[in-house]
Amino acid sequence: MRVFICGFGTVGQGLCEVLADRAQFFLDRYGEPVIVTGAMDSRTFILAPQGIAPLDLVARKKGSGRVGDESYTDSTAVLEQAEYDILVEVSPTDVKTGGAGLVNITYALNHGKDVITVNKGPLALKFCELISLARKNKCKLRFEGSVAGAMPIINLCHENLKGERISSIRGIFNGTCNFILSKMDKGQPFEQALKEAQQMGYAETDPTNDIEGYDSACKVAILANSIFGRNVTFNDVKITGITGITDEAVAMAASRNMVIRLIGEISETRLEVGPRLVPKGHPLSISGTLNTALIQADLAGPITITGRGAGRIETASAILSDLIAIMDERRNRR
């Protein structure tokens, strides 16, 4: 199986580490290796039709800051020359236009390639178009890691809960906000908690996407489309971030044995992200950087899942699960 990796930062490099670690697993399960036949970062690319050792790619990037020796301006011209079966698209999220990710995913699907992505932008803006394109070209588009990193919410709902009617999903989909709110529970003011999140590498230098609720809203839009079959975009989500939460509000919640959490809510009619009062001890009252979701299913009842919403290896684990699903399906077809 030949894989081209678009975007070679935290997740792209984490994926290479995981592919190296699971090389024997692929040989045992499929009798064939997964080979990386190319990669690109923001400026450079490398093509290796016979495959390049994933850890060598990581070493190149760490050593020189570049994944390839050649520069490019048009990523689709690179993809045109590349030889691959699956595009793994892990370039930066752009929720205004879909960015390079949208261009690359569209190009690959149009050329009959399967795609795995954790890039929220294209999915939060053009979900239905991309799924239709994949169907038209008989390709797979999988995106488990786009919502809550390693927490397997999408594949759980699509596969294990296939026969259920899911009436709602409520969850914490942004670890940075949850970290800040957990610190505020302990009496830290918002600004100080945000600074600590930045120092620990949880929040970006520009934390807008997290604290204004935009990141959670992307995930809410992806879940609404993929689990509830709705046709919505990021722009349809009613969003309130956490910047307006005062110390007094947190103290008031605590006096009622509650906490404030940034909750994403999806159902047939709801599409919201906002701060909510949650009773202490409730599954959605968790502290720290974890993500969690409460799925309401008609036969199984409430199901709660919790996991790491981000991280180099954690996100690569979600990509691995999508890769295995695609390889299983190809094997079953043979």
7 vs 152, beta carbon nearer ligand NAP = 7
101 vs 274, beta carbon nearer ligand NAP = 101
Candidates 4, 36, 93, 225: give the one binding ligand NAP (CB under 6 A): 93
Looking at residue 207, its amino acid is: P
What are the φ/ψ torsions at residue 200 (nearest 5 degrees)? -85, 0
Q: Which stretch binds ligand NAP (CB under 6 A): 23-31, 116-124, 182-190, 244-252?
A: 116-124
Q: How far apart (Å, rounded) are the C-alpha atoms in residues 175 and 166? A: 24
What are the φ/ψ torsions at residue 75 (nearest 5 degrees)? -65, -30
* Tally of CB atoms within 10 A around 146: 25
Candidates 92, 189, 279, 288: give the one binding ligand NAP (CB under 6 A): 92
Minimum distance, C-beta of residue 24 to ligand NAP, in the bound complex (Å): 26
Nearest position to ligand NAP, beta carbon: 9
Burial degree of 223 (CB within 10 A; 0-12, 13-18, 19+): buried
Minimum distance, C-beta of residue 40 to ligand NAP, in the bound complex (Å): 5
185 vs 215, beta carbon nearer ligand NAP = 215
- Only one residue has tokens 């005062």, namely 246
Which of these, 97, 98, 137, lies nearest to 114 by C-alpha position? 137
Opening angle at CA 167, ends 164 and 169, nearest 5: 105
- Only one residue has tokens 């060598």, namely 56
Sheet containing strand 114-117, edge to edge, reads 70-71, 44-52, 35-40, 2-6, 86-89, 114-117, 141-142
Minimum distance, C-beta of residue 104 to ligand NAP, in the bound complex (Å): 7
By CB under 6 A, residue 58 contacts ligand NAP: no
Letters for 149-188 (x = contact with ligand NAP by CB under 6 A, - = none) are x---------------------------------------
Q: Which residues are tagged catalytic?
A: 219
The residues that touch ligand NAP, with contacts defined as CB under 6 A, are 6-12, 40-43, 75, 90-93, 100, 118-120, 145, 149, 310-311, 315
